[in-house]
Structure 1
């Protein structure tokens, strides 16, 4: 702990939230920081490590070995999340979240203690959804950097839970359903566009406990890094910057976008390239509902029949547990044969590679934030079917604010195969107006590209963060020596 840090590179211990949508940007942020002179010790859970190794035959004990060979100083460790490695976290979601809430921090604390005893460490970088980072950072006299992997709009809704409570839009008996116009930096938002957890009447679940505790803890962070860009969420970000050290540093992608030297997929990836190569430009719909959320059997059936009715070519990523780990064949009987001549149905794929292929013309998506950023980066308009958590708020940004996509369903209406088919054709067919979405997504794509260029807003924000962090490290060192 008393090892001198003066004139050394900043050393960050980086702890990723153990869900694929959080691990991916965390890995790439770690690489970005190492490329800018950081030493990084990256910590995954045993379960995430094992699942990653199962998904990549070439992955060894050290997922960052290839990065280190390129000259970057990233060390790699794993810790228990409090559950057996083979435990089905998808099927037993609440137990998994409960373990992250109550048990995981003890394993993290033990790992951090071992590192700081032998090495000079300057900061702890941890996902905002963890409930303990400020306490662990304080115990070991480290600066705390919170990493938020979702848009600033979602961050500020959680950050202002107290305002939502006071104004009876959350966590009260007589919930208001009118528009919310009092969150700093957010002109107005409808309750149905808040995250799923903020729309629920039962606020006692383990996920609500995590959100509440995490957003108390993040108020003690020294810095907050957000995977978004200033130009897309300017008012929201500016309002947050008046309250906390908040930096918009996104989109956080690997340097080559489609190529990553660190494996992050939790499942083996099917290669769709040859099939896509045989299809005309912008003729294929890509369908994926992400790595985490589940779809009901009835909704999946309507989507399947809608895809069949639409007549379009499509790639469908159908995760083995998309309905449930216990549901071995979620598709309607005979569906695979019915669409065999114009479809490719796979358990998982390399999403960035697929979206970047010129044959892709649209993306039927759950609106996970990584998917939104990746699709926009590739100039692919979206057909939105949010399922859980931030996806409802992300949908608002996509459809209403940026106008780069359309809704699969209206409000809380049940989806039907006819509606699915009609919306797919509207998104994919240039004659029916898809050109306007392609033009809009091209504009947003340029904003993303400009942000990460040298002297772009995200590049400057990252440099400013590093400068501010180094000032804080020097200040902390002086405080120790006085």
Structure 2
């Protein structure tokens, strides 16, 4: 029987994409610094990508087989394990996306189950599984090994809530009907109103049986069995949504989950790509004069859209850094810029395959961010006081855009029509960087940043929720170990994890 005062030991497993790995790593460090033992699990493939990108940047790097070696040197008990995702290392997961996700849906759990079977023999004993919400099997594995099941949602609570209530959208004909309704959606608990165009791309789709849809359906069935849900968001920014979710299950807003201490200097790199250093180029540019352009680590865009954006940036006359992943169109097509483009913008434009995003957006020369609206990018931009031009491509990005542009008013749309055009890009970028609205947007972002800062303060909502969340893990672990003394945690007296 577990010792009543034993250290809690959590296995953590992120979904194998950059945008999920980043907050998972910082949460692992935060939990370990509050006395948790953590065993962090990456897939072999993700581990190999991170190790290779670090090795290219630093050939002297030690411990490349253990991402958390440096964290342990500073006294944190973070162990590291890797697991096979079911595919060989050389398999192109981007080009064969659907096949890869089928593997995550049907095969991966067997590999992870085997690993957990070994890890539960650790000292201290494993008490908790913190798994990405998009996995479809955590409830089964947590039950098998008698672990507390924490589901970690790395996107806004609004996105979670819409998936959680897919059946309501279906019943009302806004999703999964022959001809989806186009009128305002005003019946989702905790959501005053949302337009169908602001739903996640998977809820706007006509083909609703893709592999990703099947993952979403299964994951949001599994989530109902979670002991605790944690969200990388801030209570004050999504209060109504979080209050509604709390009526179903204990849900804690503990974001933004950033590196502790020096925000711009992460304790180690967790990038899947080798990062270019743009600081020297930025040092030669006037304050707030550079537009940072990046469409994230995962989403793809069309060659046509990229050509229009390139021409628009060219016409705008604005300084810019543009992150262009080699597989931004697809792994097969890597030649997508207009002929002579790089030559024509060489004095005021820098194109890199990947970079240290936080260092770029926190640099005084950066004044705006043209973004796909990934959630990590959005939170980082707010923290650095940088307004956004939104060009959502996929999944939650359309819903994040609504929060940024309509609700918080800290950004604008790149494209108001069906298709992006170079004329609109040029006009929007020029006005955004140099027009009268630039100051208003920067002022608005600073206000939202204050909300984030307050939430992370000693008496802030995210900090209080974080401590309640840790306490809730311990209470649940004691119950599972048969040591519950019948005492009910205060947060369960009203069934609500929110701090008022």
TM-score range, shorter chain: over 0.9
2:305 — aligned with what?
299
Hey, what's the Cα distance between the residues in 2 that align with 1:46 and 1:6? 35
Question: What's the CA shift for 1:86?
Answer: 1.4
Hey, what's the Cα distance between the residues in 1 that align with 2:159 and 2:485? 40
After superposition, where does 1:30-429 map in structure 2 within 5 Å? 30-57=28-55, 58=61, 60-119=64-123, 120-255=125-260, 256-410=262-416, 413-429=418-434
User: Unaligned stretches of 5+ in structure 2?
Assistant: 56-60, 487-500
Tell me if 1:471 matches 2:475. Answer: yes
CA contact (8 A) 2:150 2:226 kept: yes
Hey, what's the Cα distance between the residues in 2 that align with 1:462 and 1:328? 43
Hey, what's the Cα distance between the residues in 2 that align with 1:25 and 1:481? 34
Tell me if 1:450 matches 2:448. Answer: no
Question: What's the CA shift for 1:150?
Answer: 0.1
Question: What's the CA shift for 1:69?
Answer: 0.3
Hey, what's the Cα distance between the residues in 2 that align with 1:328 and 1:180? 40
Hey, what's the Cα distance between the residues in 2 that align with 1:419 and 1:358? 27
CA separation of 1:481 and 1:380: change in aligned 2, threshold 3 A: closer
Q: How large is the Cα RMSD of the aligned pairs?
A: 1.3
Hey, what's the Cα distance between the residues in 2 that align with 1:455 and 1:23? 28
Question: What's the CA shift for 1:5?
Answer: 3.8
| Segments of 4+ moved more than 4 angstroms | 479-482
CA contact (8 A) 2:255 2:462 kept: yes
Hey, what's the Cα distance between the residues in 1 that align with 2:324 and 2:297? 10
Question: What's the CA shift for 1:118?
Answer: 3.8
CA contact (8 A) 2:414 2:425 kept: yes
CA contact (8 A) 2:15 2:21 kept: yes
Counterpart secondary structure, 2:481: helix
Question: What's the CA shift for 1:479?
Answer: 5.8
Question: What's the CA shift for 1:174?
Answer: 3.1
CA separation of 1:104 and 1:329: change in aligned 2, threshold 3 A: same
Counterpart secondary structure, 1:117: coil
Hey, what's the Cα distance between the residues in 2 that align with 1:480 and 1:318? 54
Hey, what's the Cα distance between the residues in 2 that align with 1:289 and 1:118? 41
CA contact (8 A) 1:270 1:346 kept: yes
Hey, what's the Cα distance between the residues in 1 that align with 2:471 and 2:485? 22
2:7 — aligned with what?
9
Hey, what's the Cα distance between the residues in 2 that align with 1:457 and 1:60? 37
Hey, what's the Cα distance between the residues in 1 that align with 2:478 and 2:109? 28
For residues 221-275 of structure 1, the C-alpha deviation after alignment (integer angstroms, 9 at most, x for no partner) is 0000100000110110111111111000000000122122232100000000011
User: Unaligned stretches of 5+ in structure 1?
Assistant: none
Hey, what's the Cα distance between the residues in 1 that align with 2:383 and 2:416? 26
Question: What's the CA shift for 1:474?
Answer: 1.6
For residues 330-385 of structure 1, the C-alpha deviation after alignment (integer angstroms, 9 at most, x for no partner) is 11110000000111110000001101001000000000000000001000000000
Question: What's the CA shift for 1:175?
Answer: 1.6
Hey, what's the Cα distance between the residues in 2 that align with 1:368 and 1:447? 20
Counterpart secondary structure, 2:177: coil
CA contact (8 A) 1:375 1:381 kept: yes
Question: What's the CA shift for 1:480?
Answer: 9.5
